[in-house]
Each structure stands twice: as C-alpha cells, then as structure tokens.
Structure 1
Amino acid sequence: MKNIILFCSILLFIGCNNQQKKEPISDSDANISIKMYHDNTGRDDQFTGGIKMIPIETPKGEFKVWTKRMGNNPKIKVLLLHGGPGMTHEIYECFNGYFPQEGIEFYYYDQLGSYYSDQPKDLSLWDLPRFVEEVEQVRGALGLNKDNFYLYGQSWGGILAMEYALKYQQNLKGLVISNMVASIPEYQKYSDEVLAPQLPPEVLEEIMAYENKEDYSNERYLDLIVQNYYTKHIIRMPVEKWPNSINRAFHHLNPDVYVTMQGPSEFGIKGDATLKHWNVKDKLKNISVPTLSIGAEYDTMDPKQMEWIATEVQNGRYLHCPNGSHLSQYDDQENFFKGLISFIKDVDNGSF
C-alpha cells in the first residue's frame, strides 16, 4: 500500500497492457456460454453499460459510489476492492483480459473518495469501520450473496477485505487477500529491516535525509523512490513501460484519503496515519470462508507473512507469484491469473 501521491507529479509516460492468448469460454468449462455471459438484456444497468452509481449512507450524509459490472454469471460475481487508500479501480483493468473468457462476472468499484465516486472533504469519513459498512451497502445494492459473492482485495483493499470478512463472512462465497499482510507493524518491520537495506547505500542515505526532514514532495525524493524502489517492489517494469491504466490510477489518487489513513512516507506508515497500528493476526482464525492469499517474491510485503495468512484462516490456500511485486496482476500475470481463476473455479465447483 505504498505511497501513490508521488506519481501525480512525475508520471508522464504511457505503457501498454500485457496480453496473453486464451481459449474462449465454453459451456463445459465455465457452465455459461459466451452469449449468456455478454447478454445484458433485462439488466437494470444495460442503459449505462454496466455502470451504477450506488447511494451510500454515512454518518455525514448520503453519497454515491461508482461501480461497473462486467459480464453475467449468476454463480460467480467478484467485487474488486482497490488499494491506496484513495486509488481507483483502474489498477484492475487488466482483469478484463482474463476474467471474461473464463465466464467470471466481476465488478469494478471506486470506493468513496476515489476518482469516479463522490469525493467529500470531511476527513472523518476516511475510517476503516465506515469503509466496511460501505462495502456491505454496495454488496446489497448489487445483489451479491453467499451463493455467488467473491470479495477480492489488494493492498489496502486486502485490509478492507479482511475486516469485511471478520464482520460479514456469512455473505461470502470466497475471499481473496492479495498482496497484503495482516499487521501494519510487521509491514513496517519488513520495510525497515529487509527492503530498505537492499537499496544502494548512497541512495538509501539520500532518501532517508528527505524522510527525516519530512520533505516527501521533493521531486528528487520522488525520483529516487520511483527509480530505485517502485521499479523493484511495486511494478517490476521500467517506468516508461508502465501500463496506461496504472498511470491513470496514480494520477487520479485522492491524497486526502491516502495521507489520512496511510501517511505521506514511502517507507511504511508514519505520523498519525489511522492505519498505523492495524493488526488482525489474532482474528484470522475466525474466518471460515474459503480464502486465497496471494503474495509475490518482490513485494513490499513479506511473502512469508502472506503465506502464513493461508495457514491461519480455517480454509486457506496460498498463491505465490515468483516474478511479481506489489502489482503482480501486471508483472506476473501468468502465475497471478492462473492461480486466482483456479481458486474461484475450485470454490464454485466444490473441489476447493
């Protein structure tokens, strides 16, 4: 859940999405035909191409959040929780290259405060329990239930997914926790003791000088982070090859949400960020719904801790992306999507 604010000032490049040839779906392997999957006849969102602006009740009044449905499958519906906090659904646009041919219905979703949804200025709204209730309201509005509802959360979205499952797992068919550990203090420890020392000594020294001065918006600091840290642990590609979808998402970040919950630093969560002490390690044993934990070899998060999540929940599986980093849906697509789709189908057909 590394700092995305910096990209708003330095990312001017357009990349291209990786593509991989797949066989089309068939009745035998997805229990739904191509025609059925793409038939929107009678759907209440046909007029808007799958988009719904869902009203959300909050302690500060009613607002609307943006969702977009992709495909039709009454048995499999995946709601995607983006990272950040304050990012957008755009980081998942590559899912459109893999889920449709597998017959998987899925939903893009911008959480309250994110670019395509309402963006109120009251900082008290950027509160974890309130976000959990928002997800529950979105679930209800979309008609998702225990017979079809898979919740996928990556990074901050993984925090939100864990907290949702701990309160509302009776509504879930499957849970996916992607690229997120169960403890922010352990995330900070891994950043300080494992990842930071891997940087060239002179680079780390210069970065920490800016950190110590809290000069997080300095262009030199941002450039050092992107070139030496992000291209190794966020998305393992040269900046000029980053997908356009990622660049747009970074550009659309809401810094008010991000700084309130995550803080301004690149190296973990500092200051008075509301997520600084978050930890649910002792609660994971209460999650009984089938759960997939996804980790990556070069992630900002410790892959061993993400593997541990799969052993701590009651019905878990771990997916390791050996070539991936924090955005392994882009830099290790072959392993990422193969494992994710297998989990969804195994749960669906009862073989998990």
Structure 2
Amino acid sequence: MTEVQKSEGEIPFDVPDAGKPCKTWYTVLGSLGDTTSPALIGLHGGPGAGHEYLVPLADLYSPYGIPTVLYDQIGCGRSTHLREKAGDAQFWSFDLFIAELDNLIDYLGLRERGFFLLGQSWGGVLAAVYASRRPAGLRKLVLASAPASIPLYVQGLQGLLAQLPDDVRQTLEECDRKGDHESEEFQEAAAVFNERFVCQLDPLPEEIVEGFRNMKKDPTVYFTIQGPAEFVITGSIKDFEGWKQAHTIEVETLLLNGKNDEVTSSCMYPWFHAIPKIRWVTLDGSHMSHWEDRERFMREVGDFLAN
C-alpha cells in the first residue's frame, strides 16, 4: 500500500435513544489541507466490519490528490458499542447511520468544499440511501458491490450456493434448517463460500481478517440488520429495495462489482436502471475487488472522481 500521512480522532455523536454518550472514531489517509480536491468518504460494509479493509483507498492520494476519510460506524471497531441494542431494528435504522455520516461531514468541515462518497457492500447500500436524499456537498458517488435489492441478492445467492461442492452445500442447508449458525461445522462450510465469493486471496490480507474479527467480537449490528451469515438474510434489511428511490440520486455514479461477487450483477442492475447518471464496471475477483483487482479498481475510481 502506498504510504501516506495518517491522522485520527474521535467525534462526539449525540444519539438520544442510546442512553449514554456516543462517539465516532475516524482516520484521514492523506491530508485534508494539502489539496483542493474534495475528500472521499469511505463507508465500510458488514454492517459492523469496521474501516480497516478499506485502507487500500489510500492508493488514491498520490496519483489523484484525493484524501480519504474512513470511520468505524457506530456499533463497531473503535466507535461506541451498544450491545444492549441487539435485535432493536428500530434503533439500528438508516436514519441513525445517516445522522452519524452527516455529523462526521459537518465536524470535519467537508460539506463546504464538497465530498465524494464510496460505499462498499452494506456501506454502498447506506451511501445510495444517503445520496437519494440529495445531501448538500455531495459531488460524486461510488457504489462497490452493493445490492440494489435484497430479494434479488438472495436469489443470486441461491445460484452461488448451487456452485459449491455437494457436501458443503448440504451442510449449510442442514444447519440452516436447524437454525445452527454457530457450530464449527457451519462455520467451516461458510468459509468455503467466503473463499469463493467474498475474497479469493490466500492468505487473506490482515485488514480483511480484522473486519471478520470486528463482526465476531460484536455481532450486534450484523445480526440485527443482516442475519447470521452472508447468505442467511433474516435481519431488518431483508426486504430492502433501494433502487425504488435511486432515481432521485442527482450526482454522477460509478457502479463496481466483481466477476465472482456474492453481490451478483442481477442485484446490481436495478441501480444501473434507476440512477440517471451512471457507469458500470465489472472487475476481476469477488466481493473484495478493491484488493483482488486493486490496480484497476483504483484507476477506475480515481479517474472517475478526478475528471
């Protein structure tokens, strides 16, 4: 990874229903003061995976002069955890995460100079919902491996699961029938899915491993919004159809996914159909194409943002 200047800090975040003071931890890759370019804000996935696996976005700084702001969304990483809110879908709402994003933008003074937004996976879902509200200051949008429709995502998953070895697929199906998503047997079978459709690198980069650790250490947000696994969607997002509001996204948008992505092209297409100013690029790799096809990912994103 390109070495760039880094800084970090914490931002007070007032959440009336939290019952305690909250904070958002953030880091800046590059310098906000050394360039006139809008900053790129990276929204991580999971939900609850934390910022670490998005650090390759630092690659954009030297060639394009684009600084990146990453942060741990509330409920994970170095931001405030709220395990007592497990299962509370009303609390873990889009409005909560959008309020946190707005709080970060205004605290860092990014709105006046303008900002770019890149959301990966769940982060892309959040970024699209945010962009559909036409926020002041947003200049361009990147949606990386972000489903426009969770029902279509689930349909696509069935096709991917059918590609797994028979014994792996049968183990996953049997464990799911029993509601067993914690056993070693299920975890080992789920790892085979992840190796094919989440990240194909071996060994996994430590930053991606840290994302899995974040969700394991505190699965509150993941279980509440997503469910017990990448391919078992029982949480509050299960009926999400974000494309239905996407026609209100006014900024130019870049759509990215991987050839072997768990977020299949069928569930990405509604973004392409709904968003007025959009370009779509499919990269090599799976769900982590910003690692697997890193050079091209950064070139596509950098050229899009800089021009």
SS at match of 2:286: coil
Provide the alpha-carbon RMSD of the alignment: 2.0
**C-alpha distance in 2 between matches for 1:64 and 1:307:** 36
Per-residue CA distance 1:182-207 (angstroms, 9 max, x = gap): 11111111112x11111122221122
Match of 1:204 in 2: 169
What is the deviation of 1:216? Answer: 0.6
Partner of 1:250: 212
Q: Which residue of 2 aligns with 1:133?
A: 99
**CA deviations over 1:51-90 (Å, ceiling 9, x no partner):** 1211112132541000111223232201111001111100
* Mapped contact 2:156–2:266 kept (Cα < 8 A): no
Note the C-alpha offset of 1:106: 0.8
Task: Give deviations 1:287-336, integer Å, cap 9, x for gaps.
Answer: 11111111111000112442542342111111210x22111111111221
In structure 1, stretches of 5+ residues that fail to align are 1-18, 25-36, 39-48, 347-352
Partner residue in 1 for 2:142 = 176
How many angstroms does 1:251 deviate by?
Answer: 1.2
Q: Which has the larger radius of gyration?
A: 1
- 1:165 aligns to what SS in structure 2? helix
Q: Which runs of 4+ in 1 moved over 6 A?
A: none
Q: Secondary structure at the match of 1:139?
A: helix
Aligned partner letter, 2:30: G
SS in 2 for 1:204: helix
Letter in structure 1 aligned against 2:25 = W
What number of residue pairs does the alignment pair up? 296
**Quick check: 1:291–1:310 contact (8 Å CA) kept in 2?**
no
Say yes or no: does 1:294 pair with 2:249: no
The answer as to 2:226 corresponding to 1:262 is yes
Quick one: which of 291, 310, 313 aligns to 2:275?
313
Q: Does 1:213 align with 2:178?
A: yes
User: What CA distance in whole angstroms lies between the structure 2 residues aligned with 1:281 and 1:97?
Assistant: 30
SS across alignment from 1:83: coil
Name stretches of at least 5 consecutive residues in structure 2 with no aligned partner.
Answer: none
Secondary structure class of the residue paired with 2:241: coil
Give the corresponding residue for 2:122. 156
Render the CA deviation track for 1:94-149: whole Å, top value 9, x for unaligned.
Answer: 22244334311111100111111111234243222211111111111111126430
1:43 alignment partner in structure 2:
none
Amino acid paired to 1:88: G
Q: Which amino acid is the alignment partner of residue 206 of structure 1?
A: T
Tell me the TM-score normalized by structure 2.
Answer: 0.90
- Does the C-alpha gap of structure 1 residues 266 and 307 become closer, same or farther in structure 2, counting only changes over 3 Å? closer
Identical pairs, percent: 28
Deviations 1:22-79 (A, max 9, x none): 8x9xxxxxxxxxxxx96xxxxxxxxxx6212111121325410001112232322011
How many Å separate the matches in 1 of 2:27 and 2:248? 31
Distance 1:98 1:170 in 2: 24
Do the aligned partners of residues 261 and 306 (structure 1) sit closer, same or farther apart at CA in structure 2, a change above 3 Å counting?
same
- Per the alignment, in what secondary structure is the counterpart of residue 145 of structure 1? helix
Tell me the equivalent position of 1:28.
none
- Secondary structure at the residue paired with 1:318? strand
TM-score (norm 1): 0.79
CA contact (8 A) 2:72 2:78 kept: yes
Contact map agreement 2:30 2:58 (CA 8 A) in 1: no
Q: What is the match of residue 110 of structure 2?
A: 144
Superposition deviation, residue 222 in structure 1: 0.8
